[in-house]
Chain A
Amino acid sequence: MRAIAPGLFTDEPQPRLVGGRHRDSGRIVFPCPPGNDYEPHPLRRDGTLWSWTIQRYRPKSPPYAGPEAFAPWPVGYVELAGETIVEARLANVAFADVHIGMPLELTFIPLDPAAAEPVMIHAFQPAGARA
């Protein structure tokens, strides 16, 4: 898998997001900040939806590096119990079915679905959903 940034996902059959754990306080954040205060901490793959919206227009470039072609996407915050609440796109779900509290699991989607070797970004989908 071609990740959008090195060190953002773990290198394992079911990759996880790499958060950071504060060495003194134990606070967990995402992504793992540079420097020595935080150590890399892979985050759990399951969570529940904390809030959401639909991105209805193509973001400005720069900084957006996705394709010119645009279709609205859901994006929200997912609470990973005992860890942190991460911002992520939602995938494989109808807009009308998105609701706060829904169980979700980590997945990966291409930034440009039409690309031959797409860069992959993280997203969450309904638990048990299939692409």
Chain B
Amino acid sequence: MSDVCIVGIGIHRFGRTDGVSGVEQGVHAVRAALADAGVEWPQVQFAYGASDAAGNPDTMVEHLGLTGVQFINVRNGCAAGGSALFSAQMAIKSGEFDLGIAVGFDKHPRGAFNALPAEYNLPDWYGDAGYMITTQFFANKITRYMHLHGISRTTLGRVAEKAFRNAVHAPHAWRRQPVALDEILDGAMVSDPYSKYMFCSPAEGGVALVLASEKRARELGKPLVRLKAATMRTRPPGSFEVFAPCIDIGGGTATATRIASRDAFTLAGIGPADIAVAQLQDTEAGAEIMHMAENGFCADGEQEQWLAEGRTEIGGALPVNTDGGCLACGEPIGASGLRQVYENVVQLRGDGAGRQVPGAPKTAYSHVYGAPGVSAVTILER
């Protein structure tokens, strides 16, 4: 079977853009991606669009042109963007189409997400009593992990410090000022052990990718960035997820990420040691730490040494979150997973400028994780 290639990328900068709707940010990204690919909207045969809270993606045809294009909306929690991309590559792999787009955008209100119990099959008392809080879950999860695997709070701080430092060189990032490690560690506490600098914020942004069959990509004359694997998986038994009134005894280590990652490596026919650059879900600083292990890049506990030695810095053995990740870009749910793939294409093309991974990387990995226990992984090769 021929590979699916990413032939165009576009992004609307993340953060806060008052007066521009989520859909408009998605449209901006699509236009940029089309221009990058050198194709016109009427040539696009299909689209998958992801948004969690900013309206129906297919309404963007009003802006892009009423060509009658097939346009399918995807709403799949934090894996919405990854699911859109998975679906788009399937449409090409099947032979049904040879040119289409995956687009994701979102626009969330300021502050923490305020989820309601009924949306998650939970009784009202759970929200009434103050448990319906994502930050509480993330903090509980990392506290347990730090206890089991000897991860220090300084290491969490180093993750955030790296994110803001990398974002200085990423024009699409939101928080682009370096923050000193001490300031991160001494920042206002949100949910121990996390200070405000160690959590990402709900935000806004849009990303679009143009996908093509290998044959079509060659005709377009674009450098071939191949989508070697795209997986989306849900949680296994005994996992520990957001909004969990209970966890099975012995649970808390099996995750959707481990399944999505394992299956993506199998599809791509390579292993973690073959990856040159990785974008890993960093909803909070500890998530990046845990996801390094869950995706197979190191053993539990080795992160302490990895961060101390700078192995995940842009010049390190495995650069992680080269554009500052969610910590620096914020998290517009529908767009977040596609931002990671955007960044990986930038890196594989060698267009990263101040944040470019040296040595002409040939493989790139992306991973999202979120409620209600979903994960999506991609592996790119050039």
Residues of A71-102 at the interface with B, using a CB-CB cut-off of 8 Å, are: 73, 75-77, 79, 81-87, 89, 95, 100
In this complex, which of B115, B127, B193 has the most chain A Cβ atoms within 10 angstroms of its Cβ? B127
Binds A, one of B133-141, B270-278, B328-336, B347-355: B133-141
Binds A, one of B57-65, B247-255, B261-269: B247-255
Residues of chain A within 8 A (CB-CB) of B132 are 59, 63-64
Is A64 a contact partner of B191 (Cβ separation < 8 A)? no
User: How many B residues, CB 8 Å from partner?
Assistant: 37
Residues of chain B within 8 A (CB-CB) of A8 are 125
Is B141 a contact partner of A27 (Cβ separation < 8 A)? no
- Of the candidates A83, A95, A111, the one whose C-beta lies within 8 Å of that of B129 is A111
A2 interfacial by beta-carbon distance below 8 Å: no
Contact with B along A29-41 (1 / 0, CB 8 A): 1110000000000
Instruction: Please name the residue on chain B nearest to A43 by beta carbon.
Output: B246
Is A52 a contact partner of B130 (Cβ separation < 8 A)? no
- Of the candidates B129, B190, B249, the one whose C-beta lies within 8 Å of that of A85 is B249
Is A100 a contact partner of B116 (Cβ separation < 8 A)? no
A129 interfacial by beta-carbon distance below 8 Å: no
Residues of chain A within 8 A (CB-CB) of B136 are 53, 55, 75
Contact with A along B111-130 (1 / 0, CB 8 A): 11011110000011111111
Is B143 a contact partner of A62 (Cβ separation < 8 A)? no
Q: How far is the CA of A8 from the CA of B125 in the complex (A)?
A: 9
- Of the candidates A51, A56, A63, the one whose C-beta lies within 8 Å of that of B189 is A56
Instruction: Please name the residue on chain B nearest to A70 by beta carbon.
Output: B130
In this complex, which of A29, A59, A119 has the most chain B Cβ atoms within 10 angstroms of its Cβ? A59
Q: How far is the CA of A65 from the CA of B129 in the complex (A)?
A: 6
Residues of chain B within 8 A (CB-CB) of A62 are 114, 116, 127
Q: A51-B140, A55-B191, A76-B140 are in contact. Are A87 and B123 (CB under 8 A)?
A: no
B183 interfacial by beta-carbon distance below 8 Å: no
B306 interfacial by beta-carbon distance below 8 Å: no
- Of the candidates B144, B245, B248, the one whose C-beta lies within 8 Å of that of A27 is B248
Residues of chain A within 8 A (CB-CB) of B129 are 4, 64-66, 89, 111, 121
Is B191 a contact partner of A53 (Cβ separation < 8 A)? yes
Contact with A along B167-193 (1 / 0, CB 8 A): 000000000000000000000111111
A5 interfacial by beta-carbon distance below 8 Å: yes
Contact with A along B212-249 (1 / 0, CB 8 A): 00000000000000000000000000000000111111
Q: How far is the CA of A53 from the CA of B192 in the complex (A)?
A: 5
A60 interfacial by beta-carbon distance below 8 Å: yes
Q: How far is the CA of A19 from the CA of B191 in the complex (A)?
A: 27
Q: How far is the CA of A111 from the CA of B129 in the complex (A)?
A: 7
Is B245 a contact partner of A31 (Cβ separation < 8 A)? yes
Residues of chain A within 8 A (CB-CB) of B128 are 4, 63-66, 111, 119
Residues of chain B within 8 A (CB-CB) of A79 are 249
B131 interfacial by beta-carbon distance below 8 Å: yes
Residues of chain B within 8 A (CB-CB) of A82 are 249
- Of the candidates A19, A63, A89, the one whose C-beta lies within 8 Å of that of B127 is A63
Min CB–CB distance A25 → chain B (angstroms) = 10
Is A54 a contact partner of B130 (Cβ separation < 8 A)? no
A-B contact pairs, 7 of them (CB 8 A): A53-B139, A53-B192, A54-B192, A56-B188, A62-B114, A84-B246, A85-B246
Q: Beyond A85-B246, A85-B248, list 8 extra A-B contacts (CB 8 Å).
A: A30-B246, A56-B188, A57-B190, A62-B127, A65-B127, A75-B131, A85-B247, A87-B244
The 6 closest A-B pairs by CB, nearest first: A63-B127, A53-B139, A51-B144, A65-B128, A5-B125, A60-B114
Residues of A within 8 A of B (CB): 4-5, 8, 19, 27, 29-31, 50-57, 59-60, 62-66, 73, 75-77, 79, 81-87, 89, 95, 100, 111, 119, 121
Residues of B within 8 A of A (CB): 111-112, 114-117, 123-133, 136, 139-141, 143-144, 147, 188-193, 244-249, 251
